[in-house]
Amino acid sequence: MSRIAEPVSVEFTDNPVDAAMARVLDDVRRGDHPGTVADYIPQLATADPEAFGIAAVSVHGHSYGAGDYRTPFTIQSMSKPFVYALALQELGVDAVCERIGVEPSGEAFNGISFDPSGRPENPLINAGAIVATSLIGGVDGAERFAAIRAGLSRFAGRDLELDEAVYASEAATGHRNLALAALARSTEALRIPVDEALDPYFRQCALLVDAHDVAVMGVTLAAGGINPITGERVISAEVARHVLSVMTGCGMYDRSGAWMVSVGIPAKSGVGGGIVAATPGEYGIGVFSPPLDEAGNSSRGVAVLQRMSSEFGLHLLNRPINPVSSVASAETDPSTGRTVLRLRGEVDFVAVEEVVHEALRRGRACSGSTVVLDLTDVTRISTVAAYLLTQLASDVGYGVRVVMQDPSSLCAAPS
Ligand code: GLU
């Protein structure tokens, strides 16, 4: 099992990005966002209700923060997507999905939420999370937890420590989780002794993180499974997308629907007051503020992410209405009818549609002429775009002669 060899030093510099986050944080701090610090795990009740911090890490590996983003707190339910990711990586999607569903439950984190086949509805509520923990390899609970701690540390880019007091407090009072684990055992979703899943589950929830760690963990999902600070691939791109998909539908307890409408970022909250959010291909964001709303989500955390989503344009469905054109220039020589379309940048499905349309329109306007697609300045091309351009150039049935100039990007591992 791999551990992080050396801690990676992270530099925070004053920057307009920090300033923009600090402004949002201050506005939210001044607003009215009532909440109550969780006390069903007695040790959590000692959290400072005024602590409030936010951190963001970009896929380029740059870190930003405002407020108490270096204050440690327990990860709690934010551990769930990452342990689920480790299980998917270890066992494969089919084996994991046989035991845990991917449907929103519409119930609280500790709901008795099983589908008719006996699978917990999803891995982000306790029943499903306990089963996910049980899927991590290990001869006993201690070894299982060691693997989980090592795996979550790789997501965070540093070795995470256990808060013994929070662990002991939850282990002494977690009767409902004991009942959920026993139920999962009765349906055979859980196939090891209850204790061997429950003890590492309580421990994983008591791992200490700060908002910056959480942002690093989030950006590792956003960056397709590679931690951009350590450069390590922690999980595959397929697993990262799978986990983000489940977070999109199930991450914010029984407010996941309202969350997607108002914030629109895959996320997971925890009763310690944390929220991890990940905007695919862009940022990981970590928030910490202990008072929770009636659904169990950090009140200020929800408010600050709502503000960031709308002001920084982070909603997942906030895609450009008029995407940047891939056609840098289009010139037709009137004497020969020969057209040169010079393409640039990233060519995806919507971009290639414009290219194909333009090539056919210009080529058909002058029969017998040639359309040259100059790909010299193309930086990336999607699989479908490469396929469609190749079809266009090779199929005479379109009635236009198309040739490619510098087609090397077509075979450069398109995605
Ligand atoms: N350790 C907590 C529990 O299982 C996690 C709950 C949460 O953060 O939602 O009760």
Tokens of 296: 């169990």
Q: What is the pLDDT of residue 14?
A: 73
Indicate whether residue 126 lines ligand 1 (CB < 6 A): yes
Q: Burial level of 7, CB count in 10 A (0-12/13-18/19+)?
A: exposed
Structure tokens at 194: 């209850």
Token readout for 319 is 């895609």
Q: Is the dihedral angle over the CA atoms 124, 127, 133, 135 positive or is it negative?
A: negative
Between helices 79-91 and 126-135, what is the axis angle to 10°?
A: 40
What separation in Å is there between the alpha carbon of 82 and the centre of ligand 1?
A: 14
Question: Which residue in the block uniquely carries the two structure tokens 């880019």?
Answer: 157
Contact between 266 and 277 under an 8 Å Cβ cutoff? The reply is: yes
In the DSSP assignment, the letter for residue 180 is H
For 96-218, list the strands marked E by DSSP.
Answer: 208-209
* CB atoms inside a 10 Å sphere around CB 91: 16
Q: How many CA atoms lie within 13 A of 74 on its CB side?
A: 27
pLDDT score of 409:
83
- The average confidence (pLDDT) of the chain is 93
The whole-number pLDDT of residue 412 equals 59
pLDDT of residue 414: 45
Write out pLDDT tens, residues 225-237.
999 999 999 999 9
Backbone phi and psi for residue 14, each to the nearest 5 degrees, phi listed first: -70, 135
Q: Which atom of ligand 1 is nearest to the CA of 126?
A: 4
**What's the rounded Cα separation, in Å, for the pair 277 and 247?**
9
Q: Does the C-beta of 77 come closer than 6 Å to ligand 1?
A: yes
Instruction: Judge whether residue 259 has pLDDT over 90.
Output: yes
Distance CA 165, CA 391 (A): 64
List the end-to-end C-alpha distance of the chain, in Å, as a whole number: 31
What percent of the chain is predicted at pLDDT more than 90? 85
**191 has pLDDT over 70:** yes
- Asked if the model's pLDDT at residue 1 lies above 70, the reply is no
Residue whose Cα lies nearest atom 6 of ligand 1: it is 77
Task: Reply yes or no on whether 167 is catalytic.
Answer: no
- The residues, ordered by sequence, that sit 6+ positions from 272 with a Cβ below 8 Å of its Cβ are 38, 44, 47, 73, 74, 75, 76, 78, 288, 290
Question: How many other β-carbons are positioned within 10 Å of the β-carbon of residue 135?
Answer: 23
How confident is the model over 26-54, as a mean pLDDT? 95
Catalytic residue among 69, 84, 167, 253: 253
286 beta partners: 55, 276
Average pLDDT over residues 22-33: 95
Ligand 1 near 76 CB (within 6 A): yes
- List helix spans (H) across 333-378: 349-365
- Is residue 374 predicted with pLDDT exceeding 60? yes
Q: Quick one: pLDDT at residue 389?
A: 96
Q: What share of the chain is helix, strand, coil (3-state, %, to 5)?
A: 45, 15, 35
Q: Using one digit for the tens of pLDDT, what is the confidence trace for 300-352?
A: 999 999 999 999 999 999 887 877 899 999 999 999 999 999 999 999 999 99
Q: Catalytic site residue 253?
A: yes
Residues 6+ away with beta carbon under 8 Å from 215: 55, 56, 57, 63, 276, 283, 284, 285, 286
Summarised one tens digit per residue, pLDDT across range 382-415 is: 999 999 999 999 987 888 999 999 988 887 544 4
pLDDT computed for residue 8 by the predictor: 52
Residues 372-378 have a mean pLDDT of: 96
**What is the distance in A from the centroid of ligand 1 to the CA of 175?**
12
- Which among 54, 72, 227, 291 is positioned nearest to 162, based on CA atoms? 72
Instruction: Please give the average per-residue pLDDT across 353-358, as a whole number.
Output: 96
Element spanning 15, H or E = none
Q: Can 271 be counted among the known catalytic residues?
A: yes
Q: Give the per-residue pLDDT at 413.
A: 44
With CA atoms as reference, report the closest residue to 257 among 122, 87, 105.
105
Q: How far is the CA of 106 from the centre of ligand 1 (A)?
A: 16
User: Measured between alpha carbons, how far is 7 from 319 in angstroms, rounded to an integer?
Assistant: 37
Phi and psi at residue 72, in whole multiples of 5°?
Answer: -75, 145
Share of the chain above pLDDT 70, in %: 96
| Per-residue pLDDT at 12 | 54
pLDDT score, position 368 = 87
pLDDT at position 2 is 39
Q: Contact, 129 vs 145, CB < 8 A?
A: no
pLDDT at 77 over 60: yes
Q: Are 360 and 400 in contact (CB under 8 A)?
A: yes
Query: Is 270 near ligand 1, meaning CB less than 6 Å away?
Result: yes
Q: How confident is the model at residue 11 (pLDDT cuts 50, 70, 90)?
A: low
Q: What is the pLDDT of residue 4?
A: 43
